[in-house]
């Protein structure tokens, strides 16, 4: 004699299958969310590194500007004035 499922037994089996499918879907969504969060963190790290590199480049440019040779006019303007000569007139 073959065993037949009762109505409640088949309904329970269907609900268990639905629950299993929903759990798998939730697990997949959790993995996707974790992957997206990791990608966002990586983007933040890359952006921070780019900002840091830009700041370093700006500071180096400023330093180069400060250590660049001074122009002739600036040297002339920066000299000590010569002694005052008093002429009788």
Alpha-carbon distances of 37 from 31, 42, 47, rounded to whole Å: 10, 9, 15
Structure confidence at residue 1 as a pLDDT band (50, 70, 90): very low
Q: What SS3 state is found at 64?
A: helix
Name residue, tokens 């993995």: 31
Domain positions in the chain are 7-78
Cβ(13)–Cβ(5) under 8 Å?
yes
For residue 29, give both structure tokens.
Answer: 């969504």
Lowest mean pLDDT among 6-10, 18-22, 75-79: 75-79
Q: What SS3 state is found at 1?
A: coil
Q: Tens of pLDDT along 25-84?
A: 999 999 999 999 999 999 999 999 999 999 999 999 998 888 777 677 777 777 777 788
Mean pLDDT calculated for residue range 8-12? 89
């Amino acid at each position: 004699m073959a065993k037949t499922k009762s109505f409640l037994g088949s309904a329970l089996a269907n609900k268990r299958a639905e629950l299993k499918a929903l759990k798998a879907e939730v697990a997949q969504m959790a993995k996707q969310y974790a992957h997206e969060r990791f990608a966002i963190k990586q983007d933040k790290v890359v952006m921070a590194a780019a900002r840091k590199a830009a700041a370093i480049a700006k500071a180096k440019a400023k330093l180069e500007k400060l250590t660049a040779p001074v122009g002739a006019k600036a040297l002339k303007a920066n000299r000590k004035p010569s002694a005052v000569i008093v002429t009788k007139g």
